Amino acid sequence: MITINAVGDVCPIPVIKTRKAIGELNGSGRIEVLVDNETAVRNVTKMAESSGAVVSSQKLEEGKYRVNITIEAGAEAGSGRITEETECECKTETVVQKHAIVVVSSDKMGEGDDELGHILMKSFLFAVTQLDELPEKMIFYNGGAKLTVEDSPALEDLKSLAEQGVEIMTCGTCLDFYGIKEKLAVGTVTNMYSIVEAVQQAEKVIRP
Amino acid sequence: MIQTLDFFTPVVDDPYLFGQISAANALSDVYAMGGVPKLALNIVCFPNCLDVEILGEILRGGADKVKEAGAVLAGGHSVQDDEPKYGLSVTGFVHPDKVYKNSGCRPGDVLILTKQIGSGVVNTAVKAQMASQEAAQESARVMASLNRKAGEAAAAYTVHACTDVTGFGLLGHCAEMAKAGNVTLDISVGDVAYLKEAKDYARMGLVPAGAYRNREFVQPDLDDGNIEEVYLDLLCDPQTSGGLLFSVPEAEAAGLLSDLRGRKIETEVSVIGRVLEKQEKLIRLR
């Protein structure tokens, strides 16, 4: 069973999370969604029912509700079109998971000697690859943008993180500023809107 | 003289479009009273940290709508605020005997709505990044569309009652109209025009909290005829810059309808039902 904690999330985030979880079930299984308001209960119920699920819900206590979703193998989605969209949605990854994100704003770590700063940063990024629980996203801006391009000392580590599903994002304005946009070698280009959104939605923000 | 004021936070990402929508919404109050807007003043809240060009675009959108309305934009006032907000205070004129009220519905009247509904649901889908581009564009276009032509068309007919459909949703505004006129409104849910894909999004649970609040508000006055849930969600969906709802004598309904359509209104006009003698409930759906 998948448990989704959507307590504290405002509409339509609980629906987005549920939709993603249904997509991850691969056809059948159970999902439990925890929410803190009735609008979310009703909307999550609608989302699940439109995917062919059997849904029930309970009020656990004041401001806490549980929606139970069961999808049997071979359940028909309410409409084929919705199923298609679900798949498409998963690819675009708009789904919010409150995991840790790493924000890198310089190619050096800490204040002091620059050479030491470069070494520390390379070492920090290597250490990230060794974490048991990888961050969901890593965001590089200003001087940090120099770390995701060709010739970056940390390129191999970052590529390995990307292969393991960590989303590597580099500020496009910064790449332009330093004239290294063509050299981007790992991850994607992002903008300030996405950066702010990612930081706002993260459960934990790690800064070297 | 009519004096109105309305402003709100962005409902779309594009600042120019937001300016147009907010201005169309503020101007709509004057049209809903049968008036003609003459003068408008900007109301602006804007954060220091945002690019001032964005503000320029919002104001340009608003100014274009005021111009389209034939009114004069005479200035305004701005304050620093964390979240951008924009709107207008509008002064309009109307002959005192021709002010539309929401209280004049008479049994036998036909109800005509001048815009599609569902903007709250579609905006929620846009926020969830689940809306198709076509649906988002249609919704934005409908919200930005001015109620001027609808107001002008109606001027030649007997309008027993009129309101603009906004935050209380179609049913919330219907309930007010029915209560004020001491009648029952009979709404044919299949005849109401809905925004593209709004039904799909409502079925997926992309329903704003306001729709549920509106529904709770009207529920005691509602004979819902066991219609499908999705229609209730959309009929209660809070609208941004919604259309005008006219209650007109049956004999004039066809004329007004063809006149509205003849003016090439960019939105979908629909006959959504009729007015009945007061029954147990204020609204009957079927």
Which residues of A are less than 8 Å from B124 in CB distance?
A: 11-12
What is the mean predicted confidence (pLDDT) over A101-109? Answer: 93
Burial B115-129 (b: 16+ CB within 10 A, else e): bbbbbbbbbbbbbbe
Say what angle helices B209-218 and B229-236 make with each other, to 10 degrees: 100
First to last CA, chain A: 36
Whether residue A78 has pLDDT greater than 70: no
Banded pLDDT at B94 (limits 50, 70, 90)? very high
Half-sphere exposure of B76 (CA within 13 A, CB side): 23
Cut 0.80: pTM above it:
no
Local confidence band at A1 (pLDDT 50, 70, 90 cut-offs): confident
Only one residue has tokens 């009735």, namely A38
Residues A193, B196: Cα–Cα separation, whole Å:
28
Sign of the C-alpha dihedral, residues B163, B256, B34, B31? Answer: positive
Find the DSSP H helices in chain B: 15-32, 52-68, 119-127, 133-144, 148-154, 169-181, 198-203, 209-218, 229-236, 250-262
Q: Would you give the end-to-end CA distance of chain B in angstroms?
A: 39
Nearest to B135 by CA among B228, B204, B42: B204
Say yes or no: domain A2-89 is CATH 3.30.110.40. Answer: yes
Contact B203 A11 (CB under 8 A): no
User: What integer pLDDT is reported at residue B197 of this predicted model?
Assistant: 95
- Compute the nearest-CA separation of B164 from chain A (Å): 26
Task: Give the highest mean pLDDT range of A191-205, B26-40, B259-273.
Answer: B26-40
Q: How far is CA A86 from CA A74, B45, B130, B202, in A?
A: 16, 38, 9, 15
Dig out the tokens for A202 from the structure: 């993260």
Chain A interface mutation, best of B130, B197, B234, highest count of A Cβ atoms under 10 Å = B130
Instruction: Tell if the CB–CB gap between B128 and A12 is shorter than 8 Å.
Output: yes
| Contact in structure between A169 and A190 (CB atoms under 8 Å) | yes
Q: How far apart are CA A208 and CA A121, in angstroms?
A: 7
Reported confidence tier of residue B280, pLDDT bands at 50, 70, 90: very high
Take residue B12 and report the two structure tokens written for it.
């779309």
Strand partners, A67: A33, A57
Nearest residue on chain A to B124, judged by CA atoms? A12
Q: Mean pLDDT, chain A, as a whole number?
A: 84
Asked if the Cβ–Cβ distance from B202 to A46 is below 8 Å, we say yes
Q: Where are the domains of chain B?
A: 2-97, 101-285
Q: What are the residue boundaries of the structural domains of chain A, listed by start?
A: 2-89, 95-206
Domain B2-97 in CATH 3.40.50.620? The answer is: no
Confidence at residue A76, expressed as pLDDT on a 0 to 100 scale: 54
Q: Which of B204, B206, B215 to mutate to test the interface with A (most CBs of A within 10 A)?
A: B204
List of long-range contacts for B63-69, beta carbons under 8 Å, 24+ apart = B63/B19, B63/B23, B64/B19, B64/B20, B64/B23, B65/B19, B65/B20, B65/B23, B65/B24, B65/B27, B65/B144, B65/B146, B66/B23, B66/B27, B66/B37, B66/B40, B68/B146, B68/B148, B69/B27, B69/B37, B69/B40, B69/B146, B69/B148
Q: Which of residues 128-167 of B touch A (CB under 8 A)?
A: 128-130
Q: Fold match between B2-97 and B101-285?
A: no
The C-alpha of A150 sits at a distance from chain B's nearest C-alpha, in angstroms, of 32
Fold of A95-206: Hypothetical Protein Ychn; Chain: A, (3.40.1260)
Minimal CA separation from A10 to chain B, in Å:
9
Cα separation values, A152 from A22, A134, B182, Å = 39, 21, 75
> What pLDDT score was predicted for residue A80?
36
Q: What pLDDT, on the 0 to 100 scale, is given for residue A75? A: 61
Residues of B whose CB is below 8 A from A22: none
Which residues of A are known to be catalytic? 11
Residue A84, pLDDT > 90, answer: no
pLDDT grade for A79, boundaries at 50, 70 and 90: very low
CB A57 within 8 A of CB A65: yes
State residue A52's pLDDT score: 87
Average pLDDT over residues A175-201: 89
The fold adopted by the segment(s) B101-285 is: Phosphoribosyl-aminoimidazole Synthetase; Chain A, domain 2 (3.90.650)
Contacts of A138 (CB under 8 A, 6+ apart): A101, A102, A103, A104, A128, A158, A161, A166, A167, A168, A169, A187
Tokens of B277: 């003698």
From the list A155, A132, A162, A23, the residue with the least C-alpha distance to A84 is A23
Distance of alpha carbon A161 from alpha carbon A130, whole angstroms: 10
Cα–Cα–Cα angle for A34, A38, A44, rounded to 5 degrees:
55
| ipTM reported for the complex, 2 dp | 0.78
Contact B44, B77 (CB under 8 A): yes
